Amino acid sequence: MNSGVVYLVGAGPGDPRLITLRGKECIEKAQVIVYDRLVNPSLLSYASPGAEMIYVGKSPGNHALDQEKINELLAKRARANKIVVRLKGGDPFVFGRGGEEVELLAEEGIPFEIVPGITSAVAVPAYAGIPVTHRDCVSGFSVITGHEEEEKDETAIQWDKLARSKDTLIFLMGVKNLGLIVDQLVSRGKSLHTPVALIRWGTLGRQEVLQGTLEDIILKVKEKNFRPPAVIIVGEVVSLREKMMWWEKKPFWGRRVIITRPYHLQKSFQEKILELGGEAVSLPTVEIAPPDDYEPLDKALDRVKDFSWIVFTSINGVKFFFERIKALGKDIRELGGVNIAAIGPKTAEAVEEKGIKIAFQPEEYRAEAVAQGLLEFTSPGEEILLPRADIARPHLAQALQDRGVRVQEAVTYHNRMPRGKMDMDFEEFFTGSKKPVITFSSSSTVRNFFQLVGEEKGRELVKGSLLASIGPITSETIRSFGLEVDIEASRYTMDGLLEGIIDYLEKEDKE
C-alpha cells in the first residue's frame, strides 16, 4: 500500500532562526504541517502557499487536540499519500512526546524521519547570558522534567543525586511545580544560597528573566506573577548572567511586531525585526492563490506583442504572470519590444530576476503616480496590459483610460482570506511589557484582519498597540475602522515601513 511520509521536526526554542537546515527543508516541501503552541508561527512562512496548516497546540487546561488524536491525524494524512511535517517546539524527543507519535507510525508501517531541534534546555539559558557549563565552576548539566505524569506511582527523578550534584540543573515545564522542586532540593541538602533563574519566552523579543536563590525564588515568582512557560536554571552559572547578557541589549528587545502579510512574503521583514532583537509575530490575514479562471490572462499572453507596456503592481503579479508563461510553454522572448513598468523596488527586482530590464519605475509607489508617469511615454490609442489581483484598486486603469490609453486588465492571482480556521490565541499576540506594533502592508490586510477576528474584538485587541501603515491608502482604510494611525511609511515599501517604526520608537525612547 502506498503511503506518504511523516517528518517529526524540532522547531527549536522560539527564535525562528534557530530551526535546522533540514527542518527548514522539510517545512518547504510539506503538504501538511501539524504544529504546536510553542512553535513560532513565523516558521510557517517557509511553507508552500498550498500547504495545509493544522494547529494542535496545548496550553494548561486547554488542548486543541489530545495526544491520541494527534497521533491518528498524522497517520491519516500520511495514509492519504501526503508529505506531513509534525512541527514540535524544541526537540521532539526532549519531553516532547515525540516517541509516542513515532511508535504509532512504526506500528502502522508509515515511513517517518526524525529531525532533531535545538532544545530550549541549552538555547534559552544562552539567550539569557547563562552558559550551562563553564570550566571555572561546572562541567556538566542535567535536564529534568518539571512535571511528571500524575498517574505515576513513584517519581523517576533522583532528587538525592541532583541535590548533591554540582552540575547545572535545568527544569523544563516546571513553574507550576516550583515549590516542589525547591523543597526536594533543599530538603536533601542543596544550599539555600544556590542561584536560580527563571526564563520565560526565552530566545524571543519578549524574553523575561527572574533571578533569585532557592531561598527567595518562590516569593519573587509570586510577587512578579511570573507565569509559564519558563525554563528553570539552578546552579552557580546563573551568577554569570550579569557579565554575559546580550539579547536584552538589542534595540527592539521586548517589542513584538505583528506581520499581517501572506506567509511567503514575510521572510525578509521578519529577519530584520529579529536582527534588531524584536519578536516577529506572523499573523497572515491574506492568502495569495492562482485565479479561478486563466482565460483572460491566457488571451492576453496570446497577443502579448500587441501591448506597448506591461505594468506590474506587485511581486505576486510578477510571480504568477511568469509562472503562467511557463505553464503555457511560451517563450519569454515574446516579450521583446514590450516595455515593462513596475511599482516599487521589490516588484522591479522580481522582474529583473527574469533577465528583463525595467523601462519605468515611478518614484512614488501609488497608482496615481504610475499613471502620470506612463502618460509621458504613451499616446492615446496605445494598449497597456495590467496583470493584477482580483481585488486591485481601479484607479490606475481608470486614470490611463481617461487619457485615451487602452487598458487590458487580466486577473493574475487571487488576494483572499486565509483558508481554514485560525485557531491561534489572538489575545496573546497583543501582550507584552511594551506596546506591540501591528503592521499593515495593504488595505486588504486591514479589512481581512477585522473580518478574521471580528470588528469589535479587533478594535479591543489593537487598543494598546501601535498601528503602522505602509502608505496613505492603507492608512485611510485603517481610519475607516475608527482607528488612528501611529506610524506611516514615507516610502511605501516594507523597508520604508521599518524605517518609520525605528524613527517612531527612537523618538518615543527619548521622550
Which positions are annotated as active-site residues? 36, 58, 173
Is residue 283 a contact partner of residue 261, using CB atoms and an 8 Å limit?
no
Task: Tell me the longest C-alpha to C-alpha distance in the chain.
Answer: 91
* Nearest CA among 252, 232, 141, 21 for reference residue 12: 21
Across 278-297, b (16+ Cβ under 10 Å) vs e yields: bbbbbbbbbbbbbbeebeeb
C-alpha 86/C-alpha 27 separation (Å) is: 9
Four-point Cα dihedral 162, 167, 171, 176, nearest 10: 60
Q: Which residue has the cell 506587485?
A: 314
SS3 213: strand
C-alpha 189/C-alpha 196 separation (Å) is: 16
Computed on alpha carbons and rounded to an integer, the radius of gyration of the chain in Å comes to 27
Dihedral sign, CA of 230, 236, 239, 240?
A: negative
SS3 271: helix
Cell numbers linked to 395: 484607479
Angle at 134 between CA 132 and CA 135, to 5 degrees: 150
Neighbouring-strand partners of residue 256: 279
- Side chain identity, residue 7: Y
Is residue 38 a contact partner of residue 90, using CB atoms and an 8 Å limit?
yes
* Nearest CA among 32, 34, 86, 80 for reference residue 56: 34
Cell numbers linked to 2: 502506498
- Side chain identity, residue 116: P
